[in-house]
């Protein structure tokens, strides 16, 4: 397997901290965003990402090179973030009431023209709704979503990273998107057309 990180990994396996620092430098943002995509909290995502690097350095001699280092790193990061989210609080019901209905806000219709203050307000509302909708997803589904949407990983790569079946990846992704669309509801349908 051709792993671009192989040289750094081998040095790090011999205890070269600076070599591992190169790997940290290369993947810090990616590990952070995967963590953030799951835990949805700035400080916890930072702590998770940093803990992941320390753990990976500690265990790097166990890495046998059966997968790419990057894949192994994402697996450790995703699992750490999922574990943290599970411990943090019980999963909320996916059938929770739509936030916009709770707020009593009227649907906003946005024309496809230059963004106006109203457009911006609507966009912010949509972001908030999306944020709340993601909060209602199980952490495993958030993990699949961030790897697919942000990292643009293939189903196969996600399956290898999370050590799950490709079918499971597809079903989790489908479920996550469906739930987001349901929660975003009518506002999203009208504003994005």
> Minimal CA–CA distance to 76: which of 123, 23, 1?
23
- Tokens standing for residue 35: 């963590």
Q: How far is the CB of 83 from other proteins (least distance, A)?
A: 21
Q: How far is the CB of 22 from other proteins (least distance, A)?
A: 8
- Applying CB under 8 A, which of residues 139, 143, 180, 187 lies at the interface with other proteins? 180
- Tokens standing for residue 162: 């999370």
Q: How far is the CB of 51 from other proteins (least distance, A)?
A: 11
- Applying CB under 8 A, which of residues 5, 9, 20, 84 lies at the interface with other proteins? 20
Name which of 84 and 134 has its Cβ closer to other proteins.
134
CA distance 4 to 139: 30
Name which of 28 and 155 has its Cβ closer to other proteins.
28
The enclosing H or E element of 33 equals: helix 17-39
Residue 100: exposed, middle, or buried by beta-carbon count in 10 A (0-12, 13-18, 19+)? buried
- Applying CB under 8 A, which of residues 1, 2, 14, 18 lies at the interface with other proteins? 18
Site for other proteins in 116-155 (CB under 8 A): 126-127, 130-131, 134, 145-146, 149-150
Position 192 contacts other proteins (CB under 8 A): yes
Residue 111 CB contacts under 8 Å (≥ 6 apart), including other chains: none
Residue whose token pair is 């495993």: 140
Position 10 contacts other proteins (CB under 8 A): no
Position 170 contacts other proteins (CB under 8 A): no
- Tokens standing for residue 165: 């079946």
Buried b (16+ CB within 10 A) or exposed e, 56-68: bbeebeebeeebb
- Applying CB under 8 A, which of residues 36, 69, 72, 74 lies at the interface with other proteins? 36
Site for other proteins in 44-73 (CB under 8 A): 46, 50, 53-54, 57
**Region binding other proteins by CB under 8 A among candidate stretches 28-36, 86-94, 98-106, 159-167:** 28-36
């Amino acid at each position: 397997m051709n792993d671009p990180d192989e040289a750094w990994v081998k040095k790090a396996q011999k205890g070269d901290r600076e070599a591992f620092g190169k790997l940290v430098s290369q993947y810090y943002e990616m590990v952070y965003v995967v963590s953030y995509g799951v835990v949805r909290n700035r400080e916890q995502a930072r702590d998770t990402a940093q803990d992941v690097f320390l753990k990976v350095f500690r265990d790097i001699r166990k890495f046998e090179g059966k997968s790419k280092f990057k894949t192994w790193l994402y697996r450790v990061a995703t699992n750490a973030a999922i574990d943290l989210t599970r411990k943090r609080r019980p999963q909320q019901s996916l059938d929770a009431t739509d936030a916009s209905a709770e707020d009593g806000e009227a649907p906003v219709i946005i024309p496809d023209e230059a963004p106006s203050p109203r457009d911006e307000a609507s966009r912010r509302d949509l972001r908030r709704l999306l944020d709340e909708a993601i909060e209602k997803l199980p952490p495993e589904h958030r993990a699949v979503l961030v790897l697919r949407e942000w990292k643009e990983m293939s189903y196969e790569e996600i399956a290898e990273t999370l050590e799950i079946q490709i079918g499971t990846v597809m079903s989790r992704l489908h479920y996550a998107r469906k739930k987001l669309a349901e929660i975003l509801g009518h506002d999203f349908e009208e504003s994005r057309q």
